[in-house]
Chains A and B, each alone.
Chain A
Amino acid sequence: MILHDLLFRLRSLMRHPAAENELEDELRFHLERETQKYVKTGMSEAEAARRARLEFGGLDQVKNECREARGVSLVESLVQDLHYATRTLFHSPAFTACAMLTLALGIGANTAIFSVVNTVLLNPLPYPNPQELLAARENDSLANLEDMQRQTKSFASSGGINIEPMDFTGTGEPVRVHGAYIDAGLFTTLGARPMLGRLISADEAVKGGPRNVVLSYSFWRDFMGSDPHVLGRAIRLSDNSYTVIGVMPKDFTLPKELADVFLSLWVGYPDAAAERDVHFMHMYWRLKPGVPLGQAQAEIAQVDHRLAEEFPHTERERVTLLIPLQEWLVGDVRPALLILFGAVGLVLLIACANFAMLLMARGMARQRELMIRASLGARNGRLIRQRLTESTLLALAGGAAGLLAAKAGTELLLTLKPAELRRFDAIPMDARVFVFVFVISLLTGLLFGLLPAWSASRGDIAEGLRENARTTATGVSRSPLRSFLVTAELALALILLAGAGLLIKGFLRLRSVDPGFNPANVITMYLQLPGSRYSEFSLQTNFRRELLSRINAFPGVEAAMITDLPLAGNYVGHRVVVDGHATLPEGTEPVVQTLSVMGQYFGVMQIPIRAGRDFNAMDREGQPRAAIVNETFVRQLLPGQNPIGMRIDWSRSSDPPQWMTIIGVAGDVKHSGLNQPVDPAVYSPFSQNDEAWRKFMTLVIRTRVPAASLAEDVKKQVWSLDSQIPVSSIQSMDDLLAVSVAQERFNVLLLGSFAVLAVALAAVGIYGMVAYRVNQRTREIGVYMALGAQHRDVLRLVMKDGLKLGALGILLGLAGALALTRVMVSVLFEVKPTDPTTLIGVALLLAAVAMLACYIPARRALSIHPMTALRRE
């Protein structure tokens, strides 16, 4: 039935001219036949024709009704409406520009954020059947991974990976690249295929396997010159020669890690790879199709249990927690992104309210025209439809402009380098983004066009006409819709302002956190000694000592070294035992940060020594081992004791223990991030830690000259000692501090600009309302003033409504903010979502803005000249 109807309409539309002719023929036949009938009764031809026409009724009207009955008129009138709308919009460019700009701002901001949400949260991972992929929360060893794979049935495959910096010495300066040490299962699990050659096979991923390497696409392009015959070539990585066996395709990336070259774990860690208790690999798993996560997790838990029983000393505490890969990747950023998306949605609502008010004002201005058309017989429905066509056309045009704004916006977002987008170098606008823009534009045009059109058809026009005729007693038209829109706008703006205020307060708190060191005038750079030539610990120590003495010889420079820099990311944790404390079961001793230092580290970083002394030149190899702990160490592990002189050692490091004596207590340093708690830490001299594997170090230099000029000199010094050492990550401590709060800064900047946009739009809304009222009541005000009213009275008269609505909106907004800002808990730093100072502050701010927005148009009322106003009609 419906199908028939549709097909019929469609056919009528397709054969439109033919159908028109047929209709013409059919009706003409009727009239002729009728005329003939009357002629037969003896009428004259002309009289008969006249009679027939009379009997028939209005020919054009019948034709129209027939068209409507055939269902053609719907489309036809749409075309008409579109034509009409375009014409009238071009006739009032100011209105069109205002409406489009309003919507372009609202829709543009939404589209930009949606593009980010789309890229980060919605787009599937670039692997086949990504829903089967899991990540493990904890790292593990290859032996455990293999046991788990063997003893479970839920998984199709699993793979392990560990990323380490390597130095590629091809031509020119040595370059630091990311090496991915992988087992043979990794590529299988991710479903990756090589672009050239082959991947590392299970046969060669064994102890003593060949030194083969698979290159990433970018490495192949940048360092191999996209050589198609690269297979079989030898390249030097960290002083070893590797044979290229494959190149990955351009679009292949690891889920989270950056990697330039892929090598077998067994090549990278021939000893550690076999050790069950060296948990150095990150693991990915692929479920067999259809196996639920719960079942897989239960199976893994059984294996965990068996391993704990079998190896109680080392494996008792390990737990394998599997999470869907997508969640693992975006879990941290999802709340912040969704909050931003919600906030930008509110901005759109405010923009839409302004849009609706613009349309209403325009409706009022055009009421004469509408009246005339209505009295000429245009039906109400048709008039509404026409206005809807106009608003939808405007909204779609605004959406198109918004799309352009969003394109620029996403590029701006990328330059802010927030954590959300670190994995991406572009935010593509795909089909989903276009559909999003189209749908919200369409909805905006229809819904917010319908509101004023509907309210106009219900009587605002009539009311307006009465006013035009100046016959109403009050002379005031209070459109309830306009009042509602203004109130809602202010309430929404307040919610956004409250959210932004809370974020800013949290951000300021975060920025004022004392990192524990003085970042000013400090530059840092990362070095790694090639293992092949610095395998001996004494060689490493000599290199470090020589480099420091050379750099310290620069005028105005103080230098020191540390293994892991604060705020840079990771640190190495060791379990620690305290001499004289009860022995804890193995594997349950407390874990502390372990940091090797050389030179005046605490002096260079300006970390205060709270008790005892700093290291000095005598704390070196061959001397009693010394350690400095941080305050948190003392508070947590040695509460109420004097730590100076107490002895500690890494658990199980040596038997008998080689005790380190605590010689000092250093101030706490926010090592893991400003918003993270401080962990207990132990500093000890590089020269006393026989840990030859710590070949990496960060050179920390405090300078009195501009740091940038120094960096090149320092590099030259490094290379004068050894030309094969890559120097990388040259950055100032200030920059590092800024990067550590980049995520928060991004949220603050975005939500802050949304709030500003919201307040501006709301201010325009309330301004428009008051201005409109002033305009509407010009005559009344003129009478008032003629009767001797004071400026104050006039101001009160025109501002009263605006202020009342403003106050109501702010109150409602406060209630809304109290209800909504709770979702922000996870992104706020040490600020309660109901922080009263912030809420009161933003309410006052918005009140001031609203007052100003009322006052400016109201002041115009004061300049009204009574006589002019009275004459105006």
Chain B
Amino acid sequence: MPSRSIDLPQGTLDLLILRTLALEPLHGWAVSERIQQISSDVLRVQQGSLYPALHRLERRGWIKARWGTSENNRKAKFYELTKTGRRELEIEQDAWQKLTAAVSQILETA
């Protein structure tokens, strides 16, 4: 675990999960691995906090779950995006980009 990892800002975990699932259905462990890999281990996701988020998204109807077989031949719960989830992802992604652009603009000019 690198010492210079940062904690996720509030609310971004949902966005990251949706983005990760946008490519293909994954089980929970794979989602956590994927986020860590892609962020080059900069972002530190407390693995435990991933699951409540997944269940919350499922309740909202943005993702849905089904049981399947994992790459190591075990029964695993796979999550995939629903149509609503895909739409939400776009909205959130858009909002995020606007936010970060605005924040970085302030940081650069102010």
By CB atoms of chain A within 10 A, which of B28, B46, B51, B76 has the most? Answer: B51
A5 and B46 in contact (CB under 8 A), knowing A22-B77, A26-B28, A33-B29? Answer: no
**Interface majority SS (helix, strand, loop, mixed), chain B:** helix
Contact present for A57 and B47 (CB under 8 Å) = yes
User: In the assembly, what is the distance between CA of A4 and CA of B46, in Å?
Assistant: 28
**CB within 8 A of B52: which of A4, A22, A62?**
A62
1/0 contact trace for B24-58 toward A, CB 8 Å? Answer: 00011100100000000000001111011101101
Shortest beta-carbon distance from B20 to chain A in Å: 15
Cβ of B74 within 8 Å of any chain A Cβ, yes or no, is: yes
> Of all chain A residues, which has the CB nearest B44?
A55
**CB within 8 A of A30: which of B28, B59, B61?**
B28
Cβ of A279 within 8 Å of any chain B Cβ, yes or no, is: no
Shortest beta-carbon distance from A463 to chain B in Å: 34
Contact present for B70 and A29 (CB under 8 Å) = yes
Contact present for A26 and B52 (CB under 8 Å) = no
Contact present for A30 and B52 (CB under 8 Å) = no
A61 and B48 in contact (CB under 8 A), knowing A22-B77, A29-B76? Answer: yes
Contact present for A8 and B59 (CB under 8 Å) = yes
Contact present for B51 and A62 (CB under 8 Å) = yes
List of A residues within 8 angstroms of B32 by Cβ: 30
Contact present for B52 and A69 (CB under 8 Å) = yes
Contact present for B29 and A57 (CB under 8 Å) = no
Number of CB contacts from chain A to chain B under 8 A:
73
By CB atoms of chain A within 10 A, which of B27, B48, B61, B72 has the most? Answer: B48
Cβ of A411 within 8 Å of any chain B Cβ, yes or no, is: no
List of A residues within 8 angstroms of B28 by Cβ: 26, 29-30
Residue tally, chain A, CB below 8 Å to B: 28
Cβ of A94 within 8 Å of any chain B Cβ, yes or no, is: no
List of B residues within 8 angstroms of A59 by Cβ: 48
List of A residues within 8 angstroms of B53 by Cβ: 69
**CB within 8 A of B29: which of A34, A62, A66, A70?**
A34
List of B residues within 8 angstroms of A430 by Cβ: none
Contact present for B59 and A9 (CB under 8 Å) = yes
Cβ of A555 within 8 Å of any chain B Cβ, yes or no, is: no
Shortest beta-carbon distance from B15 to chain A in Å: 17
User: In the assembly, what is the distance between CA of A36 and CA of B70, in Å?
Assistant: 13
Contact present for A66 and B75 (CB under 8 Å) = no
Cβ of A1 within 8 Å of any chain B Cβ, yes or no, is: yes
A69 and B56 in contact (CB under 8 A), knowing A30-B29, A34-B29? Answer: yes
Contact present for A57 and B46 (CB under 8 Å) = yes
> Of all chain A residues, which has the CB nearest B53?
A69
Cβ of B87 within 8 Å of any chain A Cβ, yes or no, is: no
Shortest beta-carbon distance from B14 to chain A in Å: 11
> Of all chain B residues, which has the CB nearest A4?
B61
**CB within 8 A of A25: which of B47, B58, B59, B75?**
B75
User: In the assembly, what is the distance between CA of A8 and CA of B59, in Å?
Assistant: 6
A32 and B47 in contact (CB under 8 A), knowing A4-B61, A5-B60, A69-B56? Answer: no
User: In the assembly, what is the distance between CA of A27 and CA of B74, in Å?
Assistant: 13
Shortest beta-carbon distance from A579 to chain B in Å: 98
Within 8 A of B (CB), among A26-61: 26-27, 29-30, 32-34, 36, 55-59, 61
User: In the assembly, what is the distance between CA of A168 and CA of B56, in Å?
Assistant: 81
A32 and B60 in contact (CB under 8 A), knowing A56-B48, A57-B47, A68-B52? Answer: no
List of B residues within 8 angstroms of A70 by Cβ: 55, 58-59
List of B residues within 8 angstroms of A57 by Cβ: 46-49
Contact present for A30 and B47 (CB under 8 Å) = yes
A66 and B74 in contact (CB under 8 A), knowing A34-B47, A57-B46? Answer: no
> Of all chain B residues, which has the CB nearest A3?
B61
> Of all chain B residues, which has the CB nearest A29?
B76
Contact present for A69 and B55 (CB under 8 Å) = yes
User: In the assembly, what is the distance between CA of A722 and CA of B53, in Å?
Assistant: 98
Within 8 A of A (CB), among B59-83: 59-61, 67, 70, 72, 74-77
Shortest beta-carbon distance from A651 to chain B in Å: 88
By CB atoms of chain B within 10 A, which of A1, A25, A30 has the most? Answer: A30
With A30-B32, A56-B47 given, can you name 9 additional A-B contacts, CB distance below 8 Å? A29-B29, A29-B74, A29-B75, A29-B76, A30-B51, A55-B47, A57-B48, A62-B51, A70-B55
A-B pairs, top 4 by smallest CB distance, nearest first, are A57-B48, A65-B52, A69-B55, A62-B48
